[in-house]
A = this chain, B = another copy of it.
């Protein structure tokens, strides 16, 4: 349970990458940490509306195991824990840029196709 692959062995590189970002909130966590540099647990929770504490800590722990985020604990009262991207997390975010751009184009396509419906769920 230390620093090993959860679902490996992987078939290809895409597998290995999708594994570490699969999780409802992981790409958002990546995004949040990328934009703020360092964030405390509570800041992340408030920054991701709808996330449960359970999933937030679970995702953060997995991402720490995967070497994407750094977890710094300050033994104070009340406790303080700070999360930040590691070098690997930063490079993953960069590797996701093209995908994010593709998704943005897709959103614009969808909005153009259904101009009256784009906001309604």
Judged by a CB distance under 8 angstroms, whether A100 is at the interface is yes
Which of B4, B9, B13, B106 lies in contact with A17, CB distance below 8 A? B106
Chain A, residues 33-44, CB within 8 Å of chain B (1/0): the string is: 000000000000
Main secondary structure of the interface of A (DSSP, over half): helix
Copies of this protein in the complex: 2
Is there contact, CB below 8 Å, between A27 and B9?
no
| Chain B CB within 10 Å, residue with most, of A8, A17, A94 | A17
Instruction: Choose from B98, B103, B114 the contact partner of A18 (Cβ within 8 Å).
Output: B103
Hey, which bits of chain A sit against chain B, CB under 8 A?
A: 3-5, 8-22, 27-28, 31, 88, 91-92, 94-107, 110, 113-114, 117-119, 121
